[in-house]
Amino acid sequence: MSIIVQNGDIFIILACLFGFFMAWGVGANDVANAMGTSVGSKAITIRQAIIIAVIFEFLGAWLAGGQVTETIRKGIIDPDLLEHDPQLLVYGMLAALLAAGSWLLVASMRGWPVSTTHSIVGAIVGFAVAGLGIDSVDWTKVGQIAASWLVSPLLAGSIAYMLFRSVQRLIFESNDPFAAAKRYVPMYVFLVGFIIAMVTLVKGLKHVGLHFSFLQSALLAALAGLVVMVMGAYLERRISRSKRKADRMGFEGVERIFGMLMIFTACAMAFAHGSNDVANAVGPLAAVISVVESRGAIDTAALVPWWVLVLGGSGIVVGLVTYGHRVIATLGTGITELTPSRGFAATLAAATTVVLASGTGLPISTTHTLVGAVLGVGLARGMQALNLRVIGTIVMSWLITLPAGAGLAIMFFFMFKGIFG
């Protein structure tokens, strides 16, 4: 107990530094994956992707990041085992942040698309097993998280498949694809606006003191969807029919309409990613602050300070701006050939999956979700449309991430234990 009182300021400073480092890794690696479809389909440029991500990643992390943060903090380790040695939780969370951040640094430098959720969960499990014993881990909770790693790509892939098939059926297989796009694209724009508004109203605005019932939220979200749809229809009118039947984007300019739509889906994906993955960085940080400020008491009901979410959101933004463009450029076209219409279906499906998971408090991997959504779009065109070699490499990097995070966390945990006693 006295260790926490004597070194409280040092622990908080280290937690902020390591938390920012981890958030930087999330921005450098994971956000790049999230924005890859938009850039890979050439719907937006890298510069535009960075601007969109800076705004919506930060808003998502700040407004809607709190509930998932609670799951990471409390769900994996039994807090009762730390009641008499709360400093072990501080060492463990510092080690987890430093381990996951270090692994993301290595992966980003090599261009590996790894899961930040894998990294931090593996690190927390590693320190818990080494420091507290194998029984300290809630393996049921870990199993639920692991199941979500399988469920999320399947769910995202299914949604993407259905979305892209609906686009094919309603627009590309019609007699006049351009006219059909003008008719049906506003419906998809409404869907994007509704999803963004719904997650914000249901859970995000409680952080600023506003509470709405589910029905009120649905009505307001529908209104927001209509506003976005009107904006989309206005922008859509500025796109004219191509004079060439087989222009570069294909289908007489239809893909250019979806290119405009990708701006909305990119915003949705950035917001959803910020709301979900900020937990990977600020969850352990919030746990350290809670233990230090309470002088060793582990309060499982402690609220996450608002400035912690701002710190996490800022770290994600800095990571994206400083290093994300390289990973975006590398991963934009790896799994399958993307056009704006395919990228739209994949991105909207991934955003929908992430916000659904965020609403239930279950931490999922954005990487797995997006890869599943892109696979769903590719499968809609047949197996030959998928690059199986790249998919194999991605799966291999997923398998390496968990033990790497655990191993580094164990090493750092004993290092902190040796320094502070």
Rounded Cα–Cα distance for residues 110 and 363 (Å) = 25
Region of 273 please: left (phi>0), alpha (psi -120 to 50) or beta: alpha
Structure tokens at 347: 């991105």
Question: Residue 244 has what DSSP assignment?
Answer: S
CA dihedral sign, ordered 105, 395, 333, 237: negative
Q: Would you state the pLDDT for residue 55? A: 85
Q: Whole-prediction pTM value?
A: 0.77
CA 82 from centroid of its chain's CA atoms: 30
Q: What residues contact residue 264 under an 8 Å CB cut-off, 6+ apart?
A: 189, 192, 193, 228, 232
The three-state DSSP-derived secondary structure of the chain is CHHHHHHHHHHHHHHHHHHHHHHHHHHHHHHHHHHHHHHHCCCCCHHHHHHHHHHHHHHHHHHHCHHHHHHHHHCCECHHHHCCCHHHHHHHHHHHHHHHHHHHHHHHHHCCCCCHHHHHHHHHHHHHHHHHCHHHECHHHHHHHHHHHHHHHHHHHHHHHHHHHHHHHHHHCCCCHHHHHHHHHHHHHHHHHHHHHHHHHHCHHHHHCCCCCHHHHHHHHHHHHHHHHHHHHHHHHCCCCCCCCCCCCCHHHHHHHHHHHHHHHHHHHHHHHHHHHHHHHHHHHHHHHHHHHCCCCCCCCCCCCHHHHHHHHHHHHHHHHHHHHHHHHHHCCCCECCCHHHHHHHHHHHHHHHHHHHHHCCCCCHHHHHHHHHHHHHHCCCHHHECHHHHHHHHHHHHHHHHHHHHHHHHHHHHHHHHHC
Q: Would you state the pLDDT for residue 85? A: 80
Q: What residues contact residue 267 under an 8 Å CB cut-off, 6+ apart?
A: 52, 55, 56, 192, 196
Nearest in space to 102 (alpha carbons), one of 77, 123, 125: 123
Burial class (CB in 10 A: 0-12, 13-18, 19+), 135: exposed
Q: Would you state the pLDDT for residue 209? A: 59
Rounded Cα–Cα distance for residues 340 and 265 (Å) = 11
Q: Would you state the pLDDT for residue 177? A: 81
Structure tokens at 407: 């191993």
Tens-place pLDDT, residues 235-290 = 777 766 655 544 444 555 677 777 777 777 777 777 777 776 777 777 788 888 88
Tens-place pLDDT, residues 308-337 = 878 888 888 888 888 877 667 666 677 777
Q: Would you state the pLDDT for residue 247? A: 47
Residue ranges of the chain whose pLDDT lies below 70: 1, 33-34, 64-75, 196, 199-200, 202-210, 239-253, 276, 298-304, 326-327, 329-332, 355, 358-363
Structure tokens at 144: 């639920």
Burial class (CB in 10 A: 0-12, 13-18, 19+), 55: middle
The SS3 assignment for 76 reads coil
Q: Would you state the pLDDT for residue 200? A: 66
Rounded Cα–Cα distance for residues 19 and 323 (Å) = 17
Q: What residues contact residue 241 under an 8 Å CB cut-off, 6+ apart?
A: 178, 252, 253
First to last CA, the chain: 11
